[in-house]
Structure 1
Amino acid sequence: MSPSSSAVGGASSNASSRASKVHPVDEVLPVPKLAAYGLQHVLAFYAGAVLVPIILAGALGLSKEQLIHLINADLFTCGIASIIQAWGFGKVGVRLPLLQGVTFTAVSPMIAIGMGVGGGTDGLLAIYGSVLFAGLFTFFAAPYFAKLVRFFPPIVTGSVILIIGIALLPVAANDIVVGKGPFAIQDPVQLKHLAYAFGTLALIVAIQRIFRGFMATIAVLIGLVIGTLVAWMLGDAHFNDVASASMFGYTSPFHFGMPTFSFTAILSMIIVMMITMVETTGDVYATGEIVQKRIRPDDIARAIRADGLATFLGGVLNSFPYTCFAENVGLVRLTQIKSRWVVVAAGVIMIILGSLPKAAAIVAGIPHPVLGGAALAMFAAVAVVGVQTLSKCDFNDHRNIVILGTSLGLGMLVTAQPFVAGAFPKWAEIVFGSGITLGALSAIILNVIFNHTGGSPHTAVAGVPGNLVGLDQVNAMSRAEFTRTFGGLVENTPWVLDAAYARKPFADTIALRSAFQDALLTGTKEEQLQLMNSFADLGSEGDAHNAYLLDHADAGMGVLEEKQHEEVLELAIAYRKHFGFPLIVCAKEVERYERVLANGWHRMANSTGVERSAGLIEIAKIANYRFNELVANANPIGTARAQAFGKAHAHGH
């Protein structure tokens, strides 16, 4: 047996004997940590969770007893919904650390539905009827919505996540300066409110800077507890309601009576849930980015099914429409605690709080400025995830600038001036009443207009970043300009670029493509080996801007579990050692990493000559895909034939 074969055999046996490692998302932490991290999520989420029932009860003229029941029902159902989303069963639940809460998008429509029948209990029953139908609609629409994932590239998801983070900041700011939530009438700013908020924020930052490990991950929890204790000692945190609250309580199905149904109300709530699907999609992508899990259409479908089921349960258990809470996405980003079982623990805590009014009253005693200080850090962390997602976009392409700039501008307009919605008809207030909703819809629609309708607006070659040059300019390029423009096709290998440049002038883009293809196949053995060795090993860290590694990261190699990543790297090292050049695989044709592994180990039995030819074919595929992305009208014959077929097909119908 050859040394290289021995090395491969030893590597294979090491791979099979290595203990399987659990992805951080699926890691079950010790019970004390689950309880602490779960409570941290609940405290961070609590103000937003109870705000919707408070607003709704005030608008519909409900009694204090009815409000208390709504809050308990909301917490109880939030707990169930969060467990469904994070734990998951069958095709329901995305199995990520995503907490569920009542969507703010539904507030205005629900008030309109309730007041349309005179408010009070009748208003609640009309709301619950629409919520039940909207939940069923969302559940069954999930797989169809998930098929639209191709309309959510990084420019859309990044824009939505950034807008969510920025649009939530005024909620935290209003808690800080007013202490009564984002819908309260403005009071004069008090220095002590700012002191509580800034003190809480400073404490959270200090803990994360000074401590490591467990202490750093519960910085938000510690900040909230200490901030509340200081406010209590100074007489600004009150727990008077604890004594009067019942020890036990529960929410019974249809507590207020059987729901009533109205077509207009149901349609309005379905529109709300369609908007919520977009927000949930953004939150799922944001969380996937944080926990390093590849998000597929099936994941989106499972998350939206969970939203639908939770919303239906909300209609039964006297609560409201549910969605993933971006606040807690920010907490995951801030603490880097990625286990979904933490959210399951938070769900259990919320169910307990919903069944123990006294416990809920204690949590409700946390001063709003303290909550606002913690929320400021968490909401900003959501925006940072959006920036990370947008870093994958090419902003030399003006289309991306237009999509992001317009969507961000519209989202911030409505966030800064929420009364803009009053200028529109009631039905349009669902969209124009939320900066998140308007910004998200803008990003989706503009992406469709710029990238999915009509032909490309460019008839040029996108070469040097920031410039667009036509084919006649390519023919006039110097050797250095040509190298800068097209070097990315072949990992900047000089002899390929020189051979292609020598074929000037090019009659069309087909001739330009052929120049690169012919150069690859006609190089000497030494030149071809030089080209192949310019590619990085799969799984290696390499240069952060290495195009080949970035291609594979986008194809899913960048979000592999630790054990899977080690297996890919192990194969790459063994392959290079055996053949003297790297294993080259076209990322655009990778369906699953398991196939890369199986095929790679199988190819180890081939001769060096066969593998060198196979590597060149893969390089040719990579260059072709890059050429298609770099050159407008890259395949004029194919485009013309496709258009002709489309017209003939249309006339045939």
Structure 2
Amino acid sequence: MNAPQTDRVHPVDAWLPPGKNLVLALQHLLVMYAAAVSIPIVVGNAIGLSHDQLVMLINADLFACGIATLIQSVGFWKFGIRLPLIQGCSFVAVTPMILIGKEHGMPAVYGATIAAGIFCMLVAPFFGRVRRFFPPVVMGTTILLIGLSLLPVAVRWSAGGSPKSPDFGSPVNLMLAGVSLVTVLLVFGLGRGLLRNAAVLVGLLTGTVLAIAIGKADFSSLGNEPWLAVIRPLAFGMPVFDPISIVLMCVAMLVILTEVTADFFAVGEMVDKEIDDKAIARGLRADGLSTVIGGLLNTFPYCAYNANVGLVAMSGVRSRWVVATTGVLLLGLGLFPKLAALFASMPLAVLGGAGLVMFSMIATTGLRILAKVDLANGNNTIIIAASLGIGLITVAVPGFYEQVDGTLRIFLHSGITTGCLTAIVLNALFNRKSRNSADQAALVI
């Protein structure tokens, strides 16, 4: 057993050598880029924005991602959990943003986003008291569910992205994904030091070089993008605060808060850092502030990116300053569109191959926690089984809740949220009689 580290800096707070820090920051950037730009594209196209407006959304989003990541990882006063967490737009908010945008226009989207961010900051101290509802049986199940829910994303990326794409599942895409995957595994298994930590980056670069060699990497957009972009706050006009739109976005924000809390516990487990009520409140408060900033900069609600949570587990690098460096790089990408276009040229199939391992690493973190749970206790096994079953419904059948009312559908469509809440409720019901015993935490002593 390691001696207490009271006289030295915790790995989360440690600075790495500049070169190593930059390499690992680039790795985080490549992993999150595709998801970061996809939400502005989806929302902008659904609402019917022009090409110029869409480009503005993407640039503003990357810039705001950088701000949000710095707030969360570096922190100040009572904002920021100070863990290696990359921040980006939440997919949970996509549906309400499209609904609001089509009905009331973009000013109403940003009015609702700003209001939801303020709401998040107000409820953060109360939401931060949920730690007692996350004993190992709940925490392990939720983290396992996060990893399993992400696997279909990696599979789609490996096949080429959208099933509507003409080359979806083509042998070339599968080959690129396979090369990326095998490279990551070989470098991780045989490499040492920085090379092992950067296994995902090596896999992504290898796959991209191969894609360039066979003509699958498209750099045509580089010539069309300007060198410098100006991020204009409130580019769509003053925000409109429509009450119904605000309620809808606040509902989405509650779902985001639940998922983010699970991410906090997951990263805390990975980096060996205790997550207390105050830390949760600081993290949620940072998400709220970032969401307000997002609304002012013409972007969307922000939260932790699960893909980068998986990268923390895979790389074993715990320093939050690596992620803070990624935040600075994101600021640069937002201001220099040509650089953003360069990173966008990496084929999704390459990212998918690496994603298969990264997302599975999140699942194994959940399994490691569940290994501490007393599975001979039938209550715990039924909690895990029911929570996974309910949480994976939308993973298996994405349109399962399509006929449900829109507001309720936002809750139900998030399998992580439904699975997590199921685990919390069942644990409260089944293990309530043993709360003052070792069985309360369901740990094997």
Range of TM-score over shorter length = over 0.9
Matches within 5 A, 1:268-283: 268-283=248-263
Measure, in 1, the Cα distance between the counterparts of 2:66 and 2:57.
14
Matches within 5 A, 1:203-282: 203-282=183-262
Tell me by how many angstroms 1:136 deviates.
Answer: 0.6
1:331 aligned to which of 289, 298, 311 = 311
2:341 aligned to which of 361, 369, 391 = 361
Residue number in structure 2 paired with 1:317: 297
Letter in 1 for 2:425: I
Determine whether 1:180 maps to 2:167.
Answer: no
Residue number in structure 1 paired with 2:142: 160
Matches within 5 A, 1:464-543: none
CA contact (8 A) 2:113 2:291 kept: yes
Residue number in structure 1 paired with 2:329: 349
Deviations 1:165-220 (A, max 9, x none): 1101111111111x235x85686521111100011010011111221001111111
Letter in 2 for 1:391: A
Determine whether 1:143 maps to 2:143.
Answer: no
Measure, in 1, the Cα distance between the counterparts of 2:423 and 2:6.
44
Residue number in structure 2 paired with 1:441: 421
1:286 aligned to which of 266, 271, 289 = 266
CA contact (8 A) 1:162 1:387 kept: yes
In structure 2, do the counterparts of structure 1 residues 627 and 236 end up closer, same or farther at CA, with 3 Å as the change threshold? Answer: closer
Matched residues, number = 439
1:381 aligned to which of 325, 342, 361 = 361
1:94 aligned to which of 74, 81, 105 = 81
Gaps of 5+ in 1: 1-14, 459-587, 589-623, 631-653
Residue number in structure 2 paired with 1:62: 49
Identity of paired residues, percent? 43
2:22 aligned to which of 28, 35, 38 = 35
In structure 2, do the counterparts of structure 1 residues 409 and 19 end up closer, same or farther at CA, with 3 Å as the change threshold? Answer: closer
Secondary structure of the equivalent of 1:423? coil
Letter in 1 for 2:208: T
Matches within 5 A, 1:568-647: none
Matches within 5 A, 1:11-50: 20-50=7-37
Measure, in 2, the Cα distance between the counterparts of 1:403 and 1:279.
18
In structure 2, do the counterparts of structure 1 residues 218 and 305 end up closer, same or farther at CA, with 3 Å as the change threshold? Answer: same
2:71 aligned to which of 81, 84, 105 = 84
Determine whether 1:299 maps to 2:286.
Answer: no
Tell me by how many angstroms 1:626 deviates.
Answer: 5.8
TM, length-normalised to structure 1: 0.65
Measure, in 1, the Cα distance between the counterparts of 2:259 and 2:107.
26
Measure, in 1, the Cα distance between the counterparts of 2:226 and 2:338.
6
Deviations 1:288-318 (A, max 9, x none): 1111111111111111011111111110111
CA contact (8 A) 1:110 1:127 kept: yes
In structure 2, do the counterparts of structure 1 residues 76 and 216 end up closer, same or farther at CA, with 3 Å as the change threshold? Answer: same
Letter in 1 for 2:72: Q
In structure 2, do the counterparts of structure 1 residues 188 and 46 end up closer, same or farther at CA, with 3 Å as the change threshold? Answer: closer
Measure, in 2, the Cα distance between the counterparts of 1:274 and 1:186.
38
Measure, in 1, the Cα distance between the counterparts of 2:308 and 2:68.
14
Measure, in 1, the Cα distance between the counterparts of 2:326 and 2:101.
31
Tell me by how many angstroms 1:438 deviates.
Answer: 2.1
Tell me by how many angstroms 1:268 deviates.
Answer: 1.2
CA contact (8 A) 2:251 2:407 kept: no
CA contact (8 A) 1:415 1:434 kept: no
In structure 2, do the counterparts of structure 1 residues 369 and 96 end up closer, same or farther at CA, with 3 Å as the change threshold? Answer: same
Tell me by how many angstroms 1:133 deviates.
Answer: 0.5
Measure, in 1, the Cα distance between the counterparts of 2:36 and 2:425.
30
Secondary structure of the equivalent of 2:234? coil
Residue number in structure 2 paired with 1:598: none
Which range moves more in the overlay, 155-164 or 77-86? 155-164
Determine whether 1:407 maps to 2:387.
Answer: yes
In structure 2, do the counterparts of structure 1 residues 427 and 90 end up closer, same or farther at CA, with 3 Å as the change threshold? Answer: same
Tell me by how many angstroms 1:390 deviates.
Answer: 1.6
Letter in 2 for 1:23: H
Measure, in 2, the Cα distance between the counterparts of 1:28 and 1:75.
24
In structure 2, do the counterparts of structure 1 residues 103 and 247 end up closer, same or farther at CA, with 3 Å as the change threshold? Answer: same
Residue number in structure 2 paired with 1:104: 91
Measure, in 1, the Cα distance between the counterparts of 2:411 and 2:123.
20
Looking at both structures, which has the greater relative contact order when contacts are Cα pairs under 8 Å and sequence separation is at least 6? 2
CA contact (8 A) 1:420 1:432 kept: no
2:111 aligned to which of 107, 125, 129 = 129
Measure, in 1, the Cα distance between the counterparts of 2:257 and 2:399.
24
Residue number in structure 1 paired with 2:182: 202
Measure, in 2, the Cα distance between the counterparts of 1:19 and 1:158.
28
Matches within 5 A, 1:556-571: none
Deviations 1:247-298 (A, max 9, x none): 0112111111111111111111111111111111111111111111111111
Residue number in structure 2 paired with 1:552: none
Secondary structure of the equivalent of 1:421? coil
CA contact (8 A) 1:127 1:265 kept: yes
Measure, in 2, the Cα distance between the counterparts of 1:38 and 1:357.
19
Letter in 2 for 1:170: P
Cα-Cα RMSD: 2.1
Deviations 1:522-549 (A, max 9, x none): xxxxxxxxxxxxxxxxxxxxxxxxxxxx
Letter in 1 for 2:127: F
Residue number in structure 2 paired with 1:634: none
Tell me by how many angstroms 1:627 deviates.
Answer: 10
Which range moves more in the overlay, 154-163 or 300-309? 154-163
CA contact (8 A) 1:87 1:344 kept: yes
In structure 2, do the counterparts of structure 1 residues 306 and 53 end up closer, same or farther at CA, with 3 Å as the change threshold? Answer: same
Gaps of 5+ in 2: none
Which of the pair has more CA radius of gyration?
1
CA contact (8 A) 1:97 1:343 kept: yes
Measure, in 2, the Cα distance between the counterparts of 1:273 and 1:402.
29
Tell me by how many angstroms 1:359 deviates.
Answer: 0.0
CA contact (8 A) 2:431 2:440 kept: no
Measure, in 2, the Cα distance between the counterparts of 1:384 and 1:336.
14
Letter in 2 for 1:339: S
